[in-house]
Amino acid sequence: MKTRVTELFGIRYPIVLSGMSWISVPEMVAAVSNAGGLGILATGPFSADETRQAVKKIRTFTDKPFGANATLLFPGARENAMVLLEEEVPVINFSLGKGDWIAEAAHRYGGKVVATVVNGRHAKRAEEQGSDALIVTGHEAAAHGGDVTSLVLVPGIVDLVNIPVIAAGGFADGRGLAAALALGADGIAMGTRFMSTKERPLHENYKQISLEKDATDTIYGTHFDGLGCRSLKTKAAVRAYRKGLFGLPNFLEATTNAKNIAGTLNIPSLKLFAGVLASGWKNSVMMAYLANAFKAIQMASEDGDMRRGVLPVGQTTGLLHDVPSVSGLLDRIISEAGEVKERLSLVI
């Protein structure tokens, strides 16, 4: 299957692994790339040294194109992005920040840059900043989908920009890929579907419950990590999504979690706290939410903690019924998309 996305990245299938913390690790990234898609490494939980090691590890597993992300709002993200540029990662995916400097540096070595956006204004800005493609994330997605559903958001942004669009949020099979292409997109990005594959590192507790839940079993709100975020609906998630006293996060818990994050990222705690406070009250509140959410997501993904963990998943959790291999999944999606095309040719 050829689209502008396969041509841009030099991949076989227009299918991208979303960069999910503690899920999109080197082994998972390589599995997707080796199967013909584009794996994207999640660098959010990594220090700069860990990011460099992860990139090198991916290269021992695959000689195919791969990517890595940098969520620029997060502490340590700029340092991680610099590592990706130094290592000349083929595709860099940025979000929640200005990425013109990344595009300029990546283009010098022939790299490609993809911005993740949730609305038309950000899409146009990312294109102007030099992005080669966009991941357009609808409301159905895990974690930070926008306010508009993919069925409306994707074609709306396709009409606004001249670069390829990768649709995210609500895509898990060949029918979804065919629908995305019909909307004008050039490919799809999947997170929740890839979580339930044989190669994924997701803890067994959450792998099983993800298969049991349906599309109504997610929760969405802004009081978990300070942004609009969607997660699997569990008792722990319901508690975590509740509005705190005066609408504020638990700052005491956030202070402890932030210290742990600073240690993980090899950033002095005082430097991290000073930077957050200097960014203003509104951003400080968001960072406190993020610190608490960071810990909850890690406990779910790595430890399988059902009492305190919270796992971001999309509404496509209702479409998951098995645990295939990554290569088997991609082959099946392409086959299903072909069947949809044939079926439509008979009725249109």
Which superfamily is assigned to 4-201+323-347 in CATH?
A: Aldolase class I (3.20.20.70)
Band the pLDDT of 245: cuts 50, 70, 90. Answer: low
Average pLDDT of the chain, as a whole number: 91
Backbone angles phi, psi at 228, to 5 degrees: -65, 115
Q: What percent of the chain has pLDDT over 70?
A: 90
Instruction: Tell whether pTM > 0.85.
Output: yes
Q: Which among 326, 345, 306, 115 has a CA at the least distance from the CA of 210?
A: 306
| Spatial separation of the C-alpha atoms in residues 17 and 33, rounded to whole Å | 9
Pairing mode, strands 133-137 and 112-117 = parallel
Backbone angles phi, psi at 70, to 5 degrees: -145, 110
Domain ranges of the chain: 4-201+323-347, 214-303
| Spatial separation of the C-alpha atoms in residues 335 and 254, rounded to whole Å | 47
Tens digit of each residue's pLDDT (9 = 90 or more) over 31-43: 999 999 999 999 9
| Beta bridge pairs of residue 187 | 166
Tens digit of each residue's pLDDT (9 = 90 or more) over 99-122: 999 999 999 999 999 999 999 999
Pairwise pLDDT comparison (74 vs 279), residue with the higher score: 74
Band the pLDDT of 168: cuts 50, 70, 90. Answer: very high
* Virtual torsion, Cα 186, 192, 197, 199, nearest 10 deg: 90
Residue written as tokens 């600073």? 262
